[in-house]
Each structure stands twice: as C-alpha cells, then as structure tokens.
Amino acid sequence: MMRLPHFRFHAPRELREAAELLAGAAPGEAMLVAGGTDLLPNMKRRQQVPKALVSLRRIAELRSISNGDGYALGAGVTLSEIVRHPQLRAACTGLWQAAAQVATPHLRNMGTLGGNLCLDTRCNYYDQNYEWRKAIDFCMKKDGKTCWVATSSPTCLAVSSTDTAPALIALGATATLVSAGGSRRIPVGELYRNDGIQYLTRMPHEILAAVHLPRLDGWRSTYWKLRRRGSFDFPVLSVAAAATFTADGAVEAARIVLGAVSSRPIVAVAAADAVIGQRLTDDVIARAADAAAKPAKPMDNTDFDLTWRKRIMKDIVACALRELRGDDVREMRRTLSKMSL
C-alpha cells in the first residue's frame, strides 16, 4: 500500500489567512489542497512532496456560485455542484459537459474547479509509483535529468489533462488570483504555459480564487473528449468549441480550443477563422477541422497510438462543430465512446 509522506496541515477559514500561510512558507515548502483527488495520489507516488498543505476546503467564500453580469464560480466549487446546476448547464453547456466527464461521481464530489484548472500535467513516464520511476532513473519532471519522451528536449512535454480549462477558454472566462499582496485577474488561457513542469503562470504564493464567465447570451458551446474508458478517464484528446450565430445562420464569433495535445490548452485560431462569417456547411467544417489539427502536436506519452490520435483529431473537431450547427450528435458521441474502448 502506498502511504502519504508526513506533512503539516493547515485548514484556514479565510482566504486572506490561506494567502498569508503561503506567503510565509519557504519556496516549494507548501502546497494548496482543495479536493485532494489529484494532489494526494501524487504525494503517495512521491511526485509531489510538500512539507505543508494549506487546505482550501473550509473557506466559504471559495464555494459560491453567483450570477450577476455573467457567472462567478468560486475555485472551491465542486465539479458535482457544476453538474447539478441546471442554469449553468443551459448557459455554459461546454463547461457543464467538461465537468460531467471528469473522472467518476465520487471524484467529482470531492474535486473542485480550482483543482481541475491547476491539475498536474501527465505523462506515461511520470504517472507511475516511486519504484517504477526509480527503475528508469526518474525523468526531468521529478528527480531525474532526461526526458524519456524526447531525450533531446530541453523542456518537459507532459500533457495538460484538465477537462474544464479548454471549455472555459472557449467561453472567454477569466480567473482571479489572490495573494497576500493583492489580486489580479487574467484570461483563463493565460494561466498556462507550454512547459510540463512549470505549466502554470500562477505564482507559488497565489491562490486561484474564482473563475468568471462573461454574459453568454446567444453563445452555443460544446466539449468533446477522447478517453480509453467512457465511464472515467483523463482526456487524451479534447475539443471545446463555442460560437454565436447571426439571424441567417452564419457564424459571428467562434473559439475552438484543443486539450491534451500539449502542456497547455491550445487555441486553434486558424480553425475559428475558417468558420467566422460562414454557415457551418460540411465543407466549412472540414476546412476548420483541417486547420485545427495543424497546431496540435501530440506526443507519444499518453494513452492510444499517436498516429491514430493525430488522425482522429479532425473527426472530433468536426463532431463539435456539427453539434454547434444543431445536428443531433448522440450517435456520434456513442461511436466516439465505442472507439475509445
């Protein structure tokens, strides 16, 4: 049985207190824990070994969902709370679909939106127990020097595997980060950098406090995910898309975001440009799907055959756009989950 290492545990009730605890800790000494569904297994595998944990679970202000000029979701809102929210489902369907496909109901009951956005990057050579990793002399992401995926790579290529980030980026969401020194608000897309080790732009002493969605009147959105087991699994490819339409059915504005193909979610700008001003005919969708597949450079460090994953990317983008067009996609979703068995 894998055991947790020893650590000090703090359970503040105020966000300010949590920020002060982080600010007072030596670099690398303290980590935040929300639901613990990502961090605690990582600690058992000694991938992350903080000396202290600052729990966010008792901080009431992180648990609120409010709707003023768009929704504001506290970082401590659980994924189940999002899934159980009918108005969120209607207003931000893509986010709802992403949250509903994270892990299992038990994990969604514990797992939070903030934890999902700050989820560690994943790789076949890293998501292993300590003995396994020791047997290959570890790797650059933790305790080693070499990247076993690309031995000449100066950076780690571990994969961004958060389901909700692509959906939130497609919906134009922003995030508030709070520290003892103040707060700042950034687009969710700017929370990430393309480095499997330093994958967040969040400073170590900052807490992701809330996510803000703009008013989404007229926006349609969707989220598609490829994974091995339809019942639960991390994404190995995902597509979030959102668009508004003119009265005559042309696309007015669009965002298409790819997940699990890089160390950060990738905004497929050329794919969105290919649909803006156009009706979503099969030809337009095919052109956008081609354009979306270009910036995606998945590596051979997650599940499934790499060439197959690259090939199927276009099909998944096309499925997402067909759903935005208003097609009945239930059969396509069933086919995708069979393909991933």
Ligand X SMILES: Cc1cc2nc3c(=O)[nH]c(=O)nc-3n(C[C@H](O)[C@H](O)[C@H](O)COP(=O)(O)OP(=O)(O)OC[C@H]3O[C@@H](n4cnc5c(N)ncnc54)[C@H](O)[C@@H]3O)c2cc1C
| Residue 103 interacting partner from ligand SF4, ligand X, none (CB closer than 5 to 8 Å by kind) | ligand X
Q: Which of 168, 175, 208, 226 binds ligand X (CB under 6 A)?
A: 208
Residue 232 contacts ligand X per CB under 6 A: yes
Judged by CB under 6 A, the stretch of 82-90, 113-121, 260-268, 310-318 that binds ligand X is 113-121
Residue with the two structure tokens 């409010």: 66
Residues forming the site for ligand SF4 (CB under 6 A)? 123, 125-126, 139-141, 147-149, 156-158, 196, 301
Indicate the residue among 147 and 169 with the shorter CB distance to ligand SF4: 147
Instruction: Figure out which of the listed residues 49, 65, 107, 286 binds ligand X, where binding follows CB under 6 A.
Output: 107
Only one of the segments 32-40, 129-137, 291-299, 306-314 lies at the binding site for ligand X (rule: CB under 6 A); that segment is 32-40
Residue at token pair 């290919």? 274
The Cα–Cα gap between 41 and 258 comes to 26
Q: Alpha-carbon distance 98 to 289, whole Å?
A: 20
Binder among 31, 211, 288, 324 for ligand X (CB under 6 A): 31
Answer for the pair 281, 235: CB distance below 8 angstroms, yes or no.
Answer: no
Figure out which of the listed residues 207, 242, 258, 268 binds ligand X, where binding follows CB under 6 A: 207
**Smallest distance from ligand X to CB 275, Å:** 27
Q: Is 159 helix (H, G, I), strand (E, B) or coil?
A: strand
Residue type, 153: S
* Region near ligand X per CB under 6 A, out of 30-38, 132-140, 166-174, 183-191: 30-38
Q: Closer CB to ligand X, residue 67 or residue 201?
A: 201
If one asks whether residue 254 binds ligand X (CB under 6 A), the answer comes out as no
Minimum distance between the CB of residue 318 and ligand X, rounded to whole angstroms? 23
Residue nearest to ligand X (CB): 115
- Which of these, 208, 225, 242, 216, lies nearest to 302 by C-alpha position? 225
Which one of residues 47, 80, 93, 116 is an interface residue with ligand X (CB under 6 A)?
116
Min. distance of Cβ 87 from ligand X in angstroms? 21
Could you give the CA distance from residue 156 to residue 145 in angstroms, rounded to a whole number? 10
Q: Which of residues 66-105 bind ligand X (CB under 6 A)?
A: 75, 79, 102-103
| Binds 56: which of ligand X, ligand SF4, none (CB < 5-8 Å by kind) | ligand X
Distances (CA, A) of 68 to 20, 39, 106: 29, 33, 30
Which partner, ligand X, ligand SF4, none, binds residue 140 by CB below 5 to 8 Å per kind? ligand SF4
Question: What is the amino acid identity at position 64?
Answer: S
Helical spans, DSSP H, in the chain? 15-24, 39-44, 79-83, 86-91, 93-100, 105-110, 113-117, 130-135, 164-170, 269-275, 282-293, 306-325, 330-339
59 binds ligand X (CB under 6 A): no
* Minimum distance, C-beta of residue 268 to ligand SF4, in the bound complex (Å): 22
Among ligand X, ligand SF4, none, partner that 242 touches (CB below 5 to 8 angstroms by kind): none
**Inter-axis angle of helices 306-325 and 282-293, nearest 10:** 140
From the number of C-beta atoms within 10 Å of its C-beta (0-12, 13-18, 19+), residue 305 rates as exposed
Residues 153, 147: contact at Cβ < 8 Å? yes
The helix-helix angle for 330-339 and 306-325 (nearest 10°) equals 170
**Which residues in this chain contact ligand X in the complex, by CB under 6 A?**
31-39, 41, 56, 75, 79, 102-103, 107, 110-112, 114-116, 118-120, 161-163, 207-208, 232-234
